[in-house]
Structure 1
Amino acid sequence: MSKTGKSKHRFPEFTDADAWEQRRLGEVAEFAKGRGYSKKDICSEGTPIILYGRLYTNYETVINDVDTYTELQENSVLSSGDEVIVPSSGESAEDISRAAFVQNSGVILGGDLNIIKPNETIQSTFLAITLSNGSQQKELSKRAQGKSVVHLHNSDLKVVNLSFPTLPEQERIGAFFQTLDATIASHQRKHSQRRV
């Protein structure tokens, strides 16, 4: 377990005494894979489902409203409300280097999704933010493999170097970015309504 220096920009209530820790993601999380389902399985009602392609078009860092449904199949993977999901396929290394936190339980996690369940030292919103930004995102991009379609596997995610502060600071960072996401989404909706 190594300690790293503080980030250049921090909330005033956190000081140098609150050092950031650095670990491999595989040391602080468990991993699984989504299962089955494709666009043809979507219907107007049923169990909420997240398909990997929707991460690129419909969802922000925190997913609390799922707008697609399907009939629940045997052996489906259902969220418990603390997972971080990362697409395992995408068109480019930059596209695939994004993560989202699934806030609700009982959501089907479809195929082509890497599922990360952090332990008690990592807050899920913080993990989704850090994997989608900065040095962790660059590391994910470097690990993405393929030409016309790129792939990212749980084995790639396990070796990502993760820097993280104490839980209270992670929660503060997560809340800040959730507020920012909500503000951006609100402005985008207003802009879209004006154009109609």
Structure 2
Amino acid sequence: MIKDCLFCRSAIIEKHYRQAEKQTVCIADLGEHFSVGNLAKDDLSETGTPCILYGELFTTYGETISQIESRTNKTGGMVLSKKGDLLFPSSTTVDAVSLIAPSVINIDNVVLGGDMFGIHINSNFDAQYLSYFFNHIAKRRLAKYAKGSTIIHLHYADIEKAKLLLPCLKEQHRMAKCLVSLDNKINVETLSLNLLNNQKTYLLRHMFI
């Protein structure tokens, strides 16, 4: 069921995009670009300020960041998030397509660090929608701007002039609301499935005692 929901989500995004009226904008039009500070795994701690390492954009978070998993005591000279920022990983060893995986962060004052860059999305665009758009619609087209072989890099300067076709703000809002509701449903179902699997494991273990 969860796989079906994920497939359904992608289908919804693609169908809406095909049918929507679109306008041409450049990535530079989306908002103000910013860089982040240096942060490594060794800087993580049990307590401290919530933080995001760039690698977590691949391993921990999806299109939306609503809960922070890591903390750090390193705050001097660090860059803090603003709600609605779009965060892009800047390097990977996998492939260029997997590098086009930005997340929108819905929390203020989170320490951002490592090999990533961000965009403070302005009020003419819906940051939540843009996260889905980049991850599902523009992924392969923007991958051509990445550079490298063993380690693949993507910098803001590489993509700032890239042109996008985007629905109007009203349609972005409408679609983002629909997709967030679907993601919440998927998260609830995933949690329920994990609880049932744990219960199943527990019961099977005690059948043979």
Q: Same fold by TM-score, threshold 0.5 exceeded?
A: yes
Corresponding residue for 2:123?
120
**Structure 1 vs Structure 2: percent identity of aligned residues?**
26
- Length-normalised TM-score, structure 1: 0.85
Distance in 2 between residues matched to 1:174 and 1:43, nearest whole Å:
34
1:18-59 deviation line (CA, Å, top 9, x unaligned): 832111111232111121111111111111101111111211
Distance in 1 between residues matched to 2:56 and 2:87, nearest whole Å:
12
Distance in 2 between residues matched to 1:122 and 1:33, nearest whole Å:
20
Distance in 1 between residues matched to 2:63 and 2:147, nearest whole Å:
24
- RMSD between aligned alpha carbons? 2.1
Shift of 1:8: 8.0
Evaluate the alpha carbon distance shift between residue 188 and residue 94 of structure 1 in structure 2; reply closer, same or farther with a 3 A threshold: farther
Shift of 1:165: 1.9
> AA paired with 1:101?
V
Runs of 4+ in 1 over 6 A off after TM superposition: none
- Aligned ranges 1:1-196 → 2 under 5 Å: 9-10=15-16, 19-91=21-93, 92-134=95-137, 136-196=138-198
Q: Runs of 5+ in structure 2 lacking a partner?
A: 1-12, 199-209
Q: Runs of 5+ in structure 1 lacking a partner?
A: 1-6
Select between 53-62 and 75-84 the one with higher mean Cα deviation: 53-62
Select between 185-194 and 23-32 the one with higher mean Cα deviation: 185-194
Corresponding residue for 1:3?
none
Evaluate the alpha carbon distance shift between residue 36 and residue 133 of structure 1 in structure 2; reply closer, same or farther with a 3 A threshold: same
Aligned residues: 184
CA contact (8 A) 1:61 1:178 kept: no
Give the structure with the higher percent helix.
Answer: 2
- Length-normalised TM-score, structure 2: 0.80
1:56-99 deviation line (CA, Å, top 9, x unaligned): 12112111110110013211000121200010011221221111
